[in-house]
Structure 1
Amino acid sequence: MTIDEACVGCIINQSVKVADAINASESLKDKMTSTVKEMSSDFSFDDNPPEIASYVYEKMAEIANKTDLYEEVKALSTKKALSFVPLVKEELSNSSDKLLTATKTAVAGNVIDLAAAVEFCLEEELSKVFHTAFAYNDFDKFREKLSNAKSVLVIGDNVGEHIFDYLFIETLKDLYPDAEYSYMVRGNPIINDVTMKEAKEAGFDKLCSLVDSGVNTPGFTYNRANAESKELFDSVDLVISKGMGNYECMSPSHRKDICFLLKVKCDVVANSLNKEVGDIVCKMV
């Protein structure tokens, strides 16, 4: 999906969030925000939001002289997510439908999004997600596809959320042990998206095949991906796409059998899905 007028304002507002996150001086903050405003006049409406974000965040990182703008915040997000692991494991242990519980946990983790127009509380989301129905509900189709899949690719989204992705894949392996599983991450730090660094720290390289997509966008932009990740994306039986950035990049996609799992956090994505901000989504295409 390409950018909407609302996306422009959202991306400009993100420059303020970044400046605050890195405790920028007033002069640095002014430079970052004014630069992004200037850049916004040249945004191409043929690009998707993550493509626009890649230009903006690379420029802000250059101005701030900081490779990973959200390095400290990502570490805190991981620590917070880990504190909820016992709760999630207890829910899984007591669940009569472990796939549904694990899938909803993976979606709840998607609230950890530092680029979203609307922010949600992780603790609150986890307390209610197990009793919340998918507003876009293709879960039965997803279950059926999983039962027949021999290869599954999960495309990660944000740091902190990746902790719940780990539990999700762990559950998938228990339920469908004959399939091969891969987890794909971003090629370099962009917003608070998961990279090889955080994925390895969480132990994904011991859980499944861990793949660097090579993309510099906060979403899997196929034409920016490396050859290995393109081949994997094209060849697996099922792709599980986490979060709004990946949805924005893969709507539409040249392949079928993609399951989009996300929390709706902006009006543009809500309109695309004909749903409401705050809804949870399990959409098969």
Structure 2
Amino acid sequence: MYKQIPEYCRPCLERLAKQAMGLACGEEPEKISKALSWLDELYDENISPPVIASELHRRVKKYCQHEDPYAPLKAKEIEIGQKIAEIYGKDFQKGFRERLLFSLLGNTIDFFRPPEEIEEVLKTGITLAIDHIAEIENHLKKTQTVILLTDNTGEVFFDIPLLSWLTDQGYETYYAVKPKPIQNDLSLPDLEKLNLKIPAKVITTGAEMVGLDLNYASEEFRRLYFEADLVLAKGMGHFETLSMKAQRNNIAFLLCAKCVPVARALEVSLKSYVVFWK
């Protein structure tokens, strides 16, 4: 379903390469040039941007000997996410739909967008450009196992109410995070530092990457992924990677379409919110 639009994806990856190198070991011209040379080597219009970005991040981390370059940005996201979730979370506690929408609202948080935009959405309410929540609710009637694939670190506070509801309803619920720090995505080390009580079974994908390419995932996670009755996949990275390969049905993508290629693939306006059932 998703396909690169080079005039948008290539410049975005260039900005990311510069940002990652700058955060990891400085913005000296020779270092930025090295990051861009890696992008020249890796770029392929037939490969989803998260896969390219993930390899870039791995090379930058190794070159700079820096395991978590995005730690300062993640700390800011965590502060913002916790504050906003505490203020507005009580308004989204009624049931599955409300808690799913609250989890989705957390996807507004990342280093590309100011916190004022998040609060504005929460104040005015969310309108879904694609709303397949009824289909998901219907599928839940014959579901036992649910996996929630996480996205940005600050979203964890928005996910907890949904996880609580699923667990309380008797679903075997898994919260899938990255095994190591990668970009600003939620990782197991991040959760361990936060010391939060997660009302679900925390697992890792085994894949040190943005989004999820199952070729990089652990055998244990792949088995669980295909056996689960329902997968809730948050963020554009999961949509960009998982929608390109028809590897399973019963997957719901929860995201804000923050870039033109993703918005076009979903046939929605830029910055639209989507719950897309596949």
SS in 1 for 2:153: coil
Q: Tell me, yes or no, if structure 1 residue 112 matches structure 2 residue 109.
A: yes
Which residue of structure 2 aligns with residue 158 of structure 1? 152
SS in 2 for 1:193: coil
* Larger CA deviation: 203-212 vs 231-240: 203-212
Cα deviations by residue, 1:119-140 (Å, 9 ceiling, x for unpaired): 3334432443472221011111
Aligned counterparts, 1:178-197, within 5 A: 178-197=170-189
Residues 113 and 153 of structure 1: CA distance in aligned 2, closer, same or farther (over 3 Å): same
Cα deviations by residue, 1:177-226 (Å, 9 ceiling, x for unpaired): 12110011112211111111123345567521111111121011111100
Which residue of structure 2 aligns with residue 36 of structure 1? 35
Residues 138 and 191 of structure 1: CA distance in aligned 2, closer, same or farther (over 3 Å): same
Aligned counterparts, 1:6-155, within 5 A: 6-19=8-21, 21=23, 25-27=26-28, 30-42=29-41, 43-93=43-93, 97-114=94-111, 119-129=112-122, 131-155=125-149
Is the 8 Å Cα contact of residues 88 and 105 (structure 1) preserved in structure 2?
no
Cα deviations by residue, 1:88-138 (Å, 9 ceiling, x for unpaired): 332135xxx432221221111112234xxxx33344324434722210111
Residue from 235, 250, 260 that aligns with 1:267: 260
2: CA distance between counterparts of 1:31 and 1:11? Answer: 18
SS in 2 for 1:222: coil
1: CA distance between counterparts of 2:34 and 2:204? Answer: 30
Counterpart of 2:13 in structure 1: which amino acid?
I
Q: CA deviation at 1:25?
A: 4.4
Is the 8 Å Cα contact of residues 237 and 257 (structure 1) preserved in structure 2?
yes
2: CA distance between counterparts of 1:229 and 1:204? Answer: 22
The alignment of Structure 1 onto Structure 2 pairs a total of residues equal to 273
1: CA distance between counterparts of 2:219 and 2:14? Answer: 33
SS in 2 for 1:152: strand
SS in 1 for 2:141: helix
Cα deviations by residue, 1:43-88 (Å, 9 ceiling, x for unpaired): 1233211110112112222333311111122122112211123223
Q: TM-score, normalised by structure 1?
A: 0.87
Counterpart of 1:278 in structure 2: which amino acid?
K
Residues 255 and 197 of structure 1: CA distance in aligned 2, closer, same or farther (over 3 Å): same
Q: TM-score, normalised by structure 2?
A: 0.89
Cα deviations by residue, 1:141-163 (Å, 9 ceiling, x for unpaired): 12212233111000011100122
Provide structure 2 residue ranges, at least 5 long, that are not aligned to the other structure: none
Cα deviations by residue, 1:13-43 (Å, 9 ceiling, x for unpaired): 1133335546x5442xx23421232223331
Q: Tell me, yes or no, if structure 1 residue 236 matches structure 2 residue 233.
A: no
1: CA distance between counterparts of 2:241 and 2:175? Answer: 17
1: CA distance between counterparts of 2:195 and 2:101? Answer: 21
Counterpart of 2:107 in structure 1: which amino acid?
N
* Larger CA deviation: 4-13 vs 199-208: 199-208
Which residue of structure 2 aligns with residue 277 of structure 1? 270
* Larger CA deviation: 2-11 vs 207-216: 2-11
* Larger CA deviation: 36-45 vs 210-219: 36-45
SS in 2 for 1:221: coil
* Larger CA deviation: 127-136 vs 201-210: 201-210
Counterpart of 1:167 in structure 2: which amino acid?
P
Counterpart of 1:211 in structure 2: which amino acid?
I
Residues 203 and 2 of structure 1: CA distance in aligned 2, closer, same or farther (over 3 Å): farther
